[in-house]
Amino acid sequence: MNLQSPFTNSQLRRALGYALSLIILFFLARVLAQTWNDFAATNFRFTFDGARVIVSLAMLVVARVFAVEAWRRIIIALGDALPFTFAMRVWFVSNLARYVPGNIWQVAAMMTMVNAKGVSKTNALLSQIIYTAIALSISGLLGIFFVVFQPQVLQGLVSISPSPLNNYLPALAASAFSALIVALALPQMFRLIIRVAAKISRRDLSAPPTTFARGLVPPLFSSAMWLTNGVAFYLFVSAIADLSLAQLPAFIAINAGAYWIGYLSFITPSGLGFREGALAFMLAVYFPTPIAVALSLLARLWSTAGELLGVILIWSRPVRQVQAVTEKSR
């Protein structure tokens, strides 16, 4: 007798993703509760600057605008066209699907929406693969820079001693970042990503001709997105706790690194749990443990509020206007 499971693999994966997220969040909450009694001994004082919170939320939307333009320019490089206004609508609406485990539902929603406007499904998929490769490369490198600003996080893992080379680390980091942007802009890199995508998807894909100047645009917009997002994160945290302006670069790195870790946790919805854990670990360099955990949890609510703000703003524009813009661009 054949017994069939009432659950599909996707349903089990989704349930496992939510369960894992809840487990991680539970342990973070447990750490928060167990260490909260030590909070009084730190003399830490919360502050609240409503203006900074509002500005930080607005900057989250601006950061997404940079991301949209990076993605849209990739679609153009692939030979299709997508009006900016409609691309904004697609991005913010499909972005809500990130909260379904798997990190594929956002791409699926994007493909469906842009295909209805004439963008081929192949180019829709390729544009997301290329954009993701660029965004993860930049965020990963920015995350590594956190070690440049706070090398003590590696204490116990590697031997850390003062060195004259430490004075040149910021310059080396800037050089590495510039080299990455140049590498991502090369036509050879564009063709390489498409070859890898063709091999993974088992499709016969060919890269359209491109130039270095055209290839430079998406990495620059993606960099602007991560930098703006990082500044927004700094403003949010500084609205609650005292931070000096000198700590801004480190907080840009913290934000990018936590997003990178969260994205790679494919099984959890929108990196839920993993991103908070990474944030709490890095924020603990600056704040007592209970504060670091609390800020990491609040950051999730803050980023979700920023995404919802973008959805509200884009949906406040009548659909007829978006359609009119789309028709004019054809």
Q: State both tokens at 256.
A: 């990018």
Long-range Cβ contacts of 262-266 (<8 Å, 24+ apart): 263/103, 263/136, 263/139, 264/136, 266/101, 266/102, 266/103
Q: What is the mean pLDDT of residues 78-86?
A: 90
- Token pair for residue 273? 């749990």
- DSSP β-bridge partners for residue 158: 155
* Phi-psi domain of 101 (left: phi exceeds 0; alpha: psi -120 through 50; beta: other): beta
In the three-class reduction of DSSP (H, G, I as helix; E, B as strand; rest coil), residue 320 is classed as helix
Which residues are CB-contacts of 255 (< 8 A; sequence separation ≥ 6)? 226, 229, 230, 233, 234
Compute the distance between CA of residue 179 and CA of residue 167 in angstroms, rounded to an integer.
Answer: 20
pLDDT in tens, 14-28: 666 556 656 666 666
57: nearest Cα among 312, 307, 262:
307
Q: Which residue has the higher pLDDT, 7 or 21?
A: 21
pLDDT of residue 200: 80
pLDDT at 113 over 90: no
Q: What is the percentage of the chain residues whose pLDDT exceeds 90?
A: 38
State residue 4's pLDDT score.
Answer: 45
d(CA 314, CA 308): 10
Q: Which residue type occupies 146?
A: F
pLDDT digits (tens, 9 = 90+) for 172-203: 888 999 999 999 999 999 999 999 988 887 77
Distance (Å, whole) CA 249 – CA 235: 12
**Per-residue pLDDT at 107 exceeds 80:** no
Burial bucket for residue 134 (CB in 10 Å: 0-12, 13-18, 19+): buried
Q: How far apart are CA 83 and CA 73, in angstroms?
A: 10
| Radius of gyration for the alpha carbons in the chain, expressed in angstroms and rounded | 21
State whether residue 68 is helix, strand or coil. Answer: helix
Residue with the bigger pLDDT between 56 and 32: it is 56
Measuring CA to CA, which residue among 60, 135, 69, 107 is closest to residue 307?
A: 60
Half-sphere exposure of 40 (CA within 13 A, CB side): 2
Which tens digit of pLDDT belongs to each residue from 208-228?
Answer: 889 999 999 999 999 999 999
What distance separates the 2 farthest-apart alpha carbons in the chain? 73
69 has a pLDDT exceeding 90? yes
Q: For residues 50 and 3, give the distance between their C-alpha atoms in angstroms, rounded to a whole number.
A: 58
Is the pLDDT confidence value at 328 over 60?
no
Whole-prediction pTM value? 0.81
Measured distance CA(62)–CA(64) in Å, rounded: 5
Predicted pLDDT at 141: 96
How buried is 318 (Cβ within 10 angstroms: 0-12 exposed, 13-18 middle, 19+ buried)? Answer: exposed
Tens digit of each residue's pLDDT (9 = 90 or more) over 282-304? 998 888 888 888 899 899 889 98
Q: What gap in Å lies between CA 73 and CA 75, rounded to an integer? A: 5
